[in-house]
Amino acid sequence: MTTALSERPANPVVGRAVPHESADLHVTGTALYTDDLLPRMPGALHAWPLQAPHAHARVRALRTDGALAVPGVVRVLTGADVPGLNDAGVRRDEPLFPDEVMYFGHAVCWVLGETLEAARLGADAVEVSYEPLPSLLTLTEAIEAQSFQGAQPIVARGDAAAGLARASHRFSGAIEFGGQEHFYLETHAAIAHLDEAGQVFVHSSTQHPSETQEIVAQVLGLRSHDVTVQCLRMGGGFGGKEWQPHGLAAVAALGAVLTGRPVRMRLNRTQDMTMTGKRHPFHATWEVGFDDEGRLEALRATLTSDGGWCLDLSEPVLQRALCHVDNAYFVPDVELAGRVALTNKTSQTAFRGFGGPQGMLVLEDILGRCAPLLGIDATELRRRNLYAPGQHTPYGQEVRHAERLRLVVDEVSERAGIDARRASVADFNAAHPHRKRGLALTPVKFGISFNHTAYNQAGALVHVYKDGSVLINHGGTEMGQGLHTKMRQVAATALGVPLGLVRLAPTRTDKVPNTSATAASTGADLNGGAVKDACEQIRARLLPVAADSLGADASDVRFSDGSVTAVGTAASVPWPVLVQEAYLRRTQLSAAGYYRTAGLHWDPIRMQGEPFKYFAYGAAVSELEVDGFTGMYRFLRTDIVHDAGDSLSPLVDLGQIEGGFVQGTGWLTLEELRWNTSDGEERGRLITQSASTYKLPSFSEMPLELHVHMLERATEDGVVYGSKAVGEPPLMLAFSIREALRHAVAAFGPAGHAVELACPSTPEAVFWAIETARQAGGA
């Protein structure tokens, strides 16, 4: 007995505001993470990397005798020890033990010691001869050198040249903006050991256990069935653990195979920041045209991402960036070209939004810069260009429920009282020559699904035990985002049992195989569909048993809140009693569920198709105050209206909306990655490699008032219980903060002054923008 994917039964457990399933464990410090398993591994060795002190160099010689003489050092792992393929990726461009150093901090070998200190001292004793080579560090250097990697896709519709030619107003410009460090609380970690049969078991802090399994097997020269990967939970991921855990897990597994002992690998904070990838920095050049009413006519842009030393996930990140340049706005004629720069830095990787925020920032920056030149209020300019029902994206997909864009914009405007506050801000600015306030509204349209269609599938394994308790396995991983909480609610709803009867087991590749990464905001959509499918198989098998027990027709049987009833009768059977009876009748009480997202197709060569199941919408209004002497600012208030469909778990989704907004604010205003770009010995060294030099948002940087409202009556057909993804889309709500900064800076200059604001828009960047505005006004 199956139901429509979005249909909710009476009295569902989904939609209830329940705490995170591990909340008590988190706050009491008893939640186990990968490295917490070390005490259970007696005799475990510790791995420590030897990081190269060059941005680019050839390894001429590697002498390990000194390390092996250090007390407690057991082995030094090098490329010569790899029995399989010496590569941590799938494109053969990511050697695990490199002969050519590609960035400052690149690990050339790993030392295994009885203690972490022994391994560290052993790494210090390894002698390496390097031949330094020329390096490229900045996007400007890479573009000048034409240093690119991977495909160079183009998204196009209509004739951009003709559109620009007919436009009444044409502008051009460029923008370059930085990356972002994931700074998850738990750094990368893995523990590998062998069982009595030689099977490799890896505990890994990974968002993609199946791919970690594949890479470990690839390095060891094994088949996937010889390797099991488990992820208990992660202390944050944000995309940084989608691709980059694989090689690190392979190091631990290689050490375990060669020594026969468990091997623990955990990067400290400095190692994690200097060895692993970040959000991609981007550079964009653009030319845009508007008609006399301020409506977009055409856009031509070239986006160049900094991919770092190897491709990693840079190609799909670039694809999603190109597919999100339009954000919430219709552009009739458009041509968007993309390319990935090869630089001598860490290999930049997935980060919440996966290129979408970078693409959207380009057009949001254009609108913010061009509004005063057009003589149109920036919020009004955005309103005039919002998608309307029936319109399509530049890559050919209809914008489904486009009316919700205007709905969220109107609702957040009303809730924020934007008209009255706009007047209040103008009065404040007129009365304060050295302090100015800014107010801005920005919308969000974000596509949900993997661009690569094959990844949009998931599996689940559900067991019902004789006492009525339920155990779920699914392919998604928990990194604090509440996925496991939602899956328990989905299972409880589908089976009609109380939430307390449902337990969730850790994610393991020998329970649910061939899983996709928990990424692209698809975790609940994909795994929820699979869990629901498995539960409905079990419920269908229980129906005839229930019908017999109740003396009713199977079509009249209802499962709800732990009781089984029938329409038209007062009789009921408790869930545990029904399950026991089903067991006695030899009914299968276990099921493997499967889900694949319907209706998707995508041509990555033509960059056309329908890659997304649906779009998530949102809008935010932010107000802030800027000090004209220092560029320092205070965030006064933010109002958010976000479309989460019919939320599976409102408390979890509220946390995701707030957290995404905060993380986006950090990227756009505070978090600045800096490398040594001098020609000295430390060229290529990451300067901001700790919390003391890398600025993270804290309570003091948050709005004094933060109001979040989820759009009501927003059921999404064709998605599990009518919900929508809420992991990534809220991050882009932070554009309202940056545009409010632009508004405040403009108030220091003359009317019609276009503010060019560096990104991240740190107080220093804001100060120089204020100086430019003042100079434009003759001050």
**Residues assigned a catalytic role:** 728
Burial 274-304 (b: 16+ CB within 10 A, else e): bbbbbbbbbbbbbbbbbeeebbbbbbbbbbb
Cα-flanking dihedrals φ and ψ of residue 337, to 5°? -105, 145
Residues 6+ apart with CB under 8 A from 292: 168, 169
Q: Which of 532, 566, 528, 562 lies closest to 549, judged by CA?
A: 566
**Residue 617, beta-bridge partner list:** 445
Burial class (CB in 10 A: 0-12, 13-18, 19+), 658: middle
Where are the alpha helices (H) located in 206-244, listed in sequence order? 209-220
- Nearest-angstrom CA–CA distance, 469 and 463: 8
Q: Enter the tokens of residue 548.
A: 């017999």
Query: Do residues 212 and 202 make contact, with C-beta atoms less than 8 angstroms apart?
Result: yes
Eight-state DSSP code of residue 366: H
Between CA 643 and CA 654, with CA 648 as vertex, the angle to 5 degrees is 55
Q: How far apart are the first and last CA of the chain?
A: 74
What CA–CA distance (Å, rounded) separates 441 from 726? 20
Planar angle of CA 127, 128, 131, nearest 5 degrees? 155
Tokens of 499: 């939430």
Q: Look up tokens 């429920």; give the residue.
A: 401
- Closest among 223, 206, 366 to 297, alpha carbons compared: 366
- Are the beta carbons of 538 and 464 closer than 8 angstroms? yes
CB 384 within 8 A of CB 293: yes
Q: Give whole-number Cα distances, 343 to 143, 309, 347, 671, 758, in Å.
A: 10, 5, 9, 21, 22
CB-count exposure of residue 605 (10 Å: 0-12, 13-18, 19+): exposed
Q: Which helix (H) or strand (E) holds 653?
A: helix 650-665
- Who contacts 499 (Cβ-Cβ below 8 Å, separation ≥6)? 13, 16, 18, 488, 489, 492
Count of beta carbons in the 10 Å neighbourhood of residue 174 = 12
User: Residue written as tokens 């050295």?
Assistant: 434
DSSP for 487-540, written as a single string: HHHHHHHHHT--GGGEEEPPEETTTS-SPPPS-TT-HHHHHHHHHHHHHHHHHH
Distance, in Å, from the CA atom of 274 to the CA atom of 49, rounded to the nearest integer, reads 12
Q: Please identify which residue in the block is written with the tokens 């502008």.
A: 171
- Please give the DSSP secondary-structure letter assigned to residue 667: I
- Compute CA 357 distance to the chain's CA centroid, rounded to the nearest angstrom: 10
Query: Residue 358 corresponds to which tokens in the numbers above?
Result: 């970078």
How far lies 118's CA from each of 36, 68, 123, 125, 319, in Å? Answer: 20, 10, 9, 11, 45
Residue 599, CA distances (Å) to 290, 602, 614 in order: 34, 10, 10
Which candidate, 415, 356, 435, 418, places its Cα nearest to that of 382?
418
